[in-house]
Structure 1
Amino acid sequence: MNISKQDVGILRELGRKAAELSATDDNKQKIDKWTRLTDLDKSAGPLQLIHLWPLAWAEALPDEQHLVCQNETARNYERDLRQRIWSVENLHDDTVIEPVIRYPHCVEITAYPELPVMAHYASDDHAKTGAFKFESPIVEMADIEKIGDPVVKVDAEQREGYKAEAEEIFGGILDVIPTGIYFAAKVVDEWAGLRGMENVYTDMMDESEWTHEALQRIADNFQKRFQTLEEQGLWGPWEKSDPLGSTGLRFNPDIPNYQDIMKKGKADLMDTWAFTCAEGFNCVSPGMHEEFDLPYNVQLMKLFKWVNVGCCEVLHNKVEFVKNVPNVRRISVSEWCDFEKAGAEIGTELLYGYKPSGVPFLGDGLHEDQVRKELRRVLDAAKDCPLEMILNIGGTLGGGDGAAKLVEWTKIAKEEIEATKG
């Protein structure tokens, strides 16, 4: 093991803190509330959670200010533990911490070996800081024959090495589990990446049969990816405290906990949540959405226990379509939706997964009035629905003290939730 005794000591201390927090009554109560809410018990909510992507985390808890370990692997473990501990101790939202540590998966997936993604910076972007330009590899109709089977490669020796190292560091403190591989089923969005968004729209009208053939090939590829990962014990995550895509946590009476999965040695698809979306169909009519997306979601979502539908796309006028997706349990209601129409259509049949706007974070301080106005509107619109409010920040926190703005947001959300109960 290349990790120094000093780094090991730091990690073990953080591990003890995480285990201590996981055993508190408050943490157990949150698990109970998430379990009941995802079972569509409206009285368990509303629950609120902040889910940050790497860029936002880097702004909220900069490595240079918070990490102490020197070894890179140790720093990855330290970062994960500090983020989880900080969330529980500072945000006071409905974050749950489980007594686990995840070692790297050491897996490489190539979805379409014959269709490499062609992405590069614009020719005049000399600083290499702008958006990627994508060149779609599906040009001729015959090119869809290149949509074959995925390739999954596992470095088993390295994987076992990481596992042994993690067990040596955290043994007796935290349960050591693999980092499960998890991704959304985005048949339409992957097709858009292969074909080009403008072409996808015109092809649905001019070459509908060919489009369906291509979408079926992509759906078959997804199914093989899912089942290969399941068979090899790579599908995950195993822990329920990991956020489900754009929505909340995975606790549910019908989903086994990580201890049971550890005994089995792998997570079965039918024992896990799925996540599907079609952000490329945001401006497509409900009828075309149903024709060109639903058939493939029907095939894939049957593989799983429960399903979340949607991310950033607008779905308030497609709720009936969403209800036809097999095993659907959650629907994402993004900031661009008609909150009232969504609430009326969702009712008690699905979990209303509200995604608050990140715009109030732009600037040095949080725009409190904007946050309260939007929260009040959603809480009223979804008053008859099981409700979760997931601040899913995928980009920047907008300058200033990002951590302070996150703490303030959760405080405001708690106050508005309590006001509705009063």
Structure 2
Amino acid sequence: MLTRQEITILQELAKQYAEIASLPIQKEKRNMWLKLNTIQMERPMVLIDQIPWHEMDVDGFLKTKVSDPHWRGIEWEMRTAIYRWHHMPADLVVNPYICLPRIAENVGWNLPFHAESEVGQYGGQAQTHIFVNQLQEMEDIEKIQPRKIIVHKEREAEMLLEAKEVFGGIIDYRWGGFSSHLGFWDFISLWMGVTNCYIELMDRPEFMHAIMERMTQIHLEEIRQMNELQLYDINTNICHCSQTFLPDLPKEGDIAVSGNAWAFGLAQLFTSVSPAITDEFEVAYMKRIFPYYGAIYYGCCDRLDDRLDIIAKLPKIRKISCSPWSIPEPFAEKMPDYCAMSVKPNPAFLAGESMDEDSIRKEIRRAIAAAKNYNRSVEFILKDITTVRNDPQRLWRWQEIAMEEVQR
């Protein structure tokens, strides 16, 4: 139950948010993203995400005040959107509505991660773990349990009534939803430890295949449940930190099922294996899962330069990550013509004793030149930002530099 004071706080934030969302530039930016995502780029686009928010609050604006966890999440989304717009908007599109969180649980896997040690830096945001291997024998694979989706319908009904009171006459609202993280190897590395994964891929490939087969079967059943409950995100227009506007995905009136939604896949562990291993242990399984989705964003910090021909076998891919460890020229040359090149600038340039503006410009210019040379649609997504040394202006300045470069 929201208090009168909390309702007032949310309404004041909603008014600020609605004012930003109604600006004509929102439609302009949306159309520019549509062009980029359909490989008709007007100019390179820029976004900043996965921000070290604990270092960003310069005036107390980011401090949340609502006690209910679901409404506090909405409050946080409004505060961070307003903050980003005022300090580092880049090419962010602020939707003309508020997304309400689906109140549901995904009960499954049932296999927590166990770390022997961890080292935290920068306020605990950067941590190093040594994980306990919980999957050592074939019978251990049964520890990975099927998933069960539970929707709390009564609380969702209450939230709709609360949303009418909070947002009525200020801004529209609609349900958000869930975006599928299809990076199975992220989970496996946390259950086994990275070194153990590499050893087992060499010594017991049949064991690793058995793990992937079980996870694939479990996820296919999860898709069935999620579709039945219509829980997928088709309204935020964001997937893996990138704007996802397309002319026909979703279409007006579409329901929240996987075929109308984006998902993201990745196999970061496989940066240090051969392309053949990626083909056998990643692509072979994702080819069975990706067709259920409307579009796929593929890659994260994994370097894909030497295996783009293999990644191109995957269906529904619309964007491919060009990580900070990628070489932009061969990446741009080899990537599929129907995909956008999603460049990840190096956040380390913001984390030193001083901000390295020269390296930031050179990195962006090099990627733009590579994309132009091979006629690629290209976006720049600065993410995985562990620290800016408690100097928020560094991030604001990075945005200024990036926007200068893409608008040359």
Partner SS, residue 61 of structure 1: coil
- The answer to whether residue 209 in structure 2 is matched with residue 212 in structure 1 is yes
Partner SS, residue 325 of structure 1: coil
Q: Could you report, residue by residue, the CA deviation over 1:327-366 in whole angstroms, capped at 9, with x for unpaired residues?
A: 1111000111111110111263320000011011114653
> Residues of 2 paired with 1:65 and 1:412: CA distance?
25
Q: Could you report, residue by residue, the CA deviation over 1:364-394 in whole angstroms, capped at 9, with x for unpaired residues?
A: 6532111111111111111121000011134
Check conservation: 1:255, 1:272, Cα contact below 8 A: yes
Alignment correspondent of 2:284:
295
Check conservation: 1:187, 1:296, Cα contact below 8 A: no
TM-score under structure 1 length normalisation: 0.87
**Superposition deviation, residue 222 in structure 1:** 1.6
Q: Which runs of 5+ in 2 are unaligned?
A: none
Alignment correspondent of 2:317:
328
Check conservation: 1:30, 1:96, Cα contact below 8 A: yes
Partner SS, residue 109 of structure 2: coil
**Superposition deviation, residue 75 in structure 1:** 4.5
Q: Could you report, residue by residue, the CA deviation over 1:63-99 in whole angstroms, capped at 9, with x for unpaired residues?
A: 8444474545555433321221232233241100012
> Residues of 1 paired with 2:185 and 2:352: CA distance?
35
> Residues of 2 paired with 1:213 and 1:52: CA distance?
33
Match of 1:416, as an amino acid?
E
Q: Could you report, residue by residue, the CA deviation over 1:208-256 in whole angstroms, capped at 9, with x for unpaired residues?
A: 233222211111112222332221122215221x3x11x5201011212
> Residues of 1 paired with 2:394 and 2:167: CA distance?
33
- The root-mean-square deviation of aligned C-alpha atoms, in Å, is 2.5
Check conservation: 2:324, 2:345, Cα contact below 8 A: yes
- The answer to whether residue 399 in structure 2 is matched with residue 410 in structure 1 is yes
- The answer to whether residue 194 in structure 2 is matched with residue 197 in structure 1 is yes
Check conservation: 1:298, 1:326, Cα contact below 8 A: yes
Check conservation: 1:111, 1:221, Cα contact below 8 A: no
Tell me which of 369, 372, 376 is aligned to 1:385: 376
Farther-moved stretch of structure 1 (86-95 vs 212-221):
86-95
Alignment correspondent of 1:373:
362
**Superposition deviation, residue 21 in structure 1:** 2.2
Alignment of 1:170-319 (within 5 A): 170-240=167-237, 242=238, 244-245=239-240, 247-256=241-250, 260-261=253-254, 266-319=255-308
Match of 1:135, as an amino acid?
V
Alignment of 1:2-401 (within 5 A): 2-4=2-4, 6-42=5-41, 44-53=42-51, 56-61=52-57, 64-67=60-63, 69=65, 71-73=67-69, 75-113=72-110, 116-120=111-115, 122=117, 131-240=128-237, 242=238, 244-245=239-240, 247-256=241-250, 260-261=253-254, 266-346=255-335, 348-363=337-352, 365-383=354-372, 384-400=375-391
TM-score under structure 2 length normalisation: 0.90
Check conservation: 1:357, 1:391, Cα contact below 8 A: yes
**Superposition deviation, residue 175 in structure 1:** 2.3
Check conservation: 1:88, 1:96, Cα contact below 8 A: no
Check conservation: 2:297, 2:319, Cα contact below 8 A: yes
Farther-moved stretch of structure 1 (409-418 vs 178-187):
178-187
Match of 1:156, as an amino acid?
K
Q: Could you report, residue by residue, the CA deviation over 1:87-118 in whole angstroms, capped at 9, with x for unpaired residues?
A: 223324110001222333332223323xx214
Structure 1's 2 and 21: CA in aligned 2 closer, same or farther, altered over 3 A?
closer
> Residues of 2 paired with 1:191 and 1:393: CA distance?
21
Check conservation: 1:117, 1:137, Cα contact below 8 A: no
Partner SS, residue 335 of structure 1: coil
The share of aligned pairs that are identical, in percent, is: 27
